[in-house]
Amino acid sequence: MSAATDSKATRRIAFLGTGLMGAPMARRLIQAGFSVTVWNRDPAKAAGLVAEGAIHAPSPAEAVQDIDVVFTMLTNGDAVAEVLFNKGVADALSKGAAVVDCSSIAPPIARDNAQKLAQRGIRSLDAPVSGGTAGAAAGTLAIMAGGDAELVDELGDVFAALGRVTYVGPSGAGQVCKLANQQIVAITIGALAEAMVLVEAGGASREAFRTAIRGGFAESRILDLHGDRMIRRDFEPGGASANQLKDLNAVAALADTLSLDLPLTAMVRDEFQAFVNEGGGGRDHSGLLLHLEKHNPSSREKG
Any residues with CB less than 8 A from the CB of 44 and at least 6 apart, and which? Answer: none
- State the Cα torsion 106-82-160-2 to the nearest 10°: 150
For residue 250, which amino acid is it?
A
| 178 carries an active-site annotation | yes
C-alpha–C-alpha distance, residues 98 and 70, integer Å: 6
Beta strand residue intervals within 40-117, DSSP E:
55-56, 69-72, 98-101
Any residues with CB less than 8 A from the CB of 32 and at least 6 apart, and which? Answer: 8, 160, 161
The one catalytic residue in 178, 246, 294, 302 is 178
Dihedral sign for Cα atoms in the order 279, 282, 288, 289: negative
Helix, strand, coil percent content, the chain, rounded in steps of 5: 55, 15, 30
Q: Which among 281, 193, 275, 272 has a CA at the least distance from the CA of 242?
A: 281
- Which amino acids are annotated catalytic? 178
